[in-house]
Every structure is written in C-alpha cells, then in structure tokens.
Amino acid sequence: MPDMIPFIDLKAQRARLKSEMDRMIDKVLDEGRYILGPEVSELEEKLSEFNGVGRALSCANGTDAILIPLMAWGVGPGDAVFVPSFTFAASAEVVVLAGATPVFVDVDPDTYNISVESLAAAIDATISGGELTPKAVIAVDLFGQPADYPRISELAKAHDLKLISDCAQGFGSTLNGRSALHWADVLTVSFYPAKPLGGYGDGGAVLCKDDALYAAMKSVRVHGEGADRYEYARIGLNSRLDTLQAAVLLSKLTIFAEEIQLRQKVADAYEAGFAQYVKKPKVISGAQSTWAQYTIEVEDRDGFRAQLSAAGVPTAVYYPIPLHLHEPYAGFPISPGGLPVTEEIAHRVVSLPMHPYLDGDQIGRIVAAVRSAT
C-alpha cells in the first residue's frame, strides 16, 4: 500500500519556521510573562494590520471569539440568532450558551455558505411568530471562502440585526479585495492547529470597528473586569490567549499571505485535474478563499473514500450530520420550508488534502486517485 499523503502537513511548515519560532518561544520563556505578555498585544496589532480594518482582541479559542460579542451585546433569553445548520457545533453552541435561541438556516448549494433567501424567510417567520426577538446573524465562512456579505449585510441592517462573520476557517479571505469586517459588526477567528492560521494549541480572536464594543469585549474576555482588575462591570469569561501561542502565531503570520497563494495553486491544480469528474467547489465571484478545506461532492461517498484510502489519499467529511438533526439542537426552530440543501449535501460532501506544502507528485497522485474513483 502506498504511503499516506498528509491531509494537513504542519511538520513542513514547522521545518520552514523552526529557527524564528524557536527564537520567539525562547524569548517568552526567558521573560516569563506567560499570560497576556507583550507578544499578545503585538499579535493583536499584526492581526489588525493583516485584516486591513478593525481592532483585534485575542482570546482562548475560536468558540469564545463568537460568544464574547454576543455577551457584550447582551444577547440572551428571548432573542433569536440566525445561524446555518451546515457548520461546526461552535457556531450554534455559543447562541445557546448565551441563553438565546438559534434559528437554523439553509445554505447555498454551490458555496455551502448561508442562503440569503433562507435567512430572509427565517427572519420574517420569527417576527411573525412573535415569541422571539431577532438580534443577530452568524454567517460562517465555510471551508475558507467569504459568505455573500453585501446581501447579508443589507438584510441584517434592514432588520437592525448584528452581523457576525464566523471566520474561523476563512481569516485572510477577501471579497472584492475587502475583509468580511467591511460589512460585519465583528469578525471571529480560530487558531486551532488545523486552521489556515493555526497555533500549537487553542486560541482565537475577535475583530471589530467600534471602540465601545471593543472595550466591552475586552471586559468580557477577562472575568468582566471594570476599570480595576478586581472591579467587575459584567459577567465575563476566562478567555485569555497564552503568550506562547501568540509567539507561535506571530511567526506563522509572517508567511501567511504566501501560504494562502500556495493553497490557491493547489486548488487550481485540483480544478484542472478533475473538475469534470466531480462537483467542485464554487467560489463566490470576486472572492479569495483561504482554502481551509477543498470539498467536493460525490455520489458514492463511502466507496470513493475507500478507493482513495487504498491509493494513499486521506479524506475527511465536514459535516456528516447537520446541527439541527443532532439531539441537543433538534428542538430549535428552522427556516420555513426546512433545510433541504443542507440535508442533501451532508450525504455527498468529502474533503481532500489541502495545505500549502503539497508538492507536484502528491497533487498528481491525488488527481489520479479522484479520477480513478469516479
């Protein structure tokens, strides 16, 4: 059996950055400021610069990054937050943790991002129902490409809703040359190791343009601190980013823009190699994806995955069961007409190896395996 190609190759990236990363980590160890050390503030500044708009606030993980603005806005019981069902649990989990109600929305059949039409129907139905107050929309930049923010933002503004860009997989993506924060109230990031910009442990960040919101979120991040460390202005979290993680991320950020372009080259090679054999990803017009995942659709997913595995090509499925079909989420409302696209694609999607360090031989093996299995 051939050697298995890495699905994500963090070792190759580590080898490239080893000297600089070791220097940064040693500096933190020598200074001994392991919580909110100077590297954390430096990372926040660099993230803002890279994003091109807004201020960045680091936190302990990508889940807290979404929860923090909800808490800062006071979203809670009796409020509705609209979120796609075809996503990772964190996108809806935070709504429940805040005490609010997630309303599940369908996705676009081509981009897999939130469907504006389904969102509009869900908002109207929630208003007509009269039991919940619409408060926010969480648009997920699934697999690394931005959602249709111009249309989503227009709809959110029409109903006075806050708009969160769940950019856990898509930090660094752009739409018409702009970050999602150009349209959204906040943009949230995950530094989970498998993400395009990943640390060596958990971490996250939330970016915003409003100074008052930034101050409230900063308070929420550290136990609801007020003007003094032991004055509490609100209920908060313990969600600080470790200084060692900030050092790792500062090193990785120096090559992040280049890695996005390397991922794009892999995506281009895949499209040229097997686009006519499978349903390939469709990127919204004017967008640059970070290609967190390269996700296709096939008819016989189990058979397809078995054949690729035999050829030494790993695959993964994101996400086999939509959130609204999991027991903890089954009782929450869904958009009128159901979520037919979400339920259909959950049986067909499969993701292929995607990282900046796939070489020509590996890409050739992957292309050949896909073509042979379809």
Residue 197 and residue 280 in one domain: no
Does residue 40 sit within a domain?
Answer: yes
Does residue 5 sit within a domain?
Answer: no
d(CA 23, CA 374): 47
* Residues of the chain with confidence (pLDDT) below 70: none
Q: What pLDDT score was predicted for residue 2?
A: 86
DSSP designation for 241:
P
Q: Long-range contacts made by residues 276-280, C-beta under 8 angstroms, separation at least 24?
A: 277/370, 277/371, 277/374, 278/370, 278/374, 279/348
- Report the largest interatomic distance among the alpha carbons of the chain, rounded to a whole angstrom: 64
Residue 297 and residue 235 in one domain: no
Does residue 268 sit within a domain?
Answer: yes
Can you give the residue range of the structural domain that contains 84? 10-250
Does residue 4 sit within a domain?
Answer: no
Q: What pLDDT score was predicted for residue 53?
A: 97
Residue 296 and residue 310 in one domain: yes
Residue 217 and residue 277 in one domain: no
d(CA 41, CA 285): 35
d(CA 345, CA 343): 6
d(CA 41, CA 241): 10
Cα 213 to the center of its chain, rounded Å = 21
Question: Does residue 136 come out as left (phi exceeding 0), alpha (psi in the -120 to 50 range) or beta?
Answer: beta
Q: What pLDDT score was predicted for residue 109?
A: 97
Q: What pLDDT score was predicted for residue 87?
A: 98
Residue 16 and residue 130 in one domain: yes
DSSP designation for 172:
T
For the chain, how many structural domains are there in total?
2
| 161-180 pLDDT tens trace | 999 999 999 999 999 999 99
Q: What pLDDT score was predicted for residue 229?
A: 84
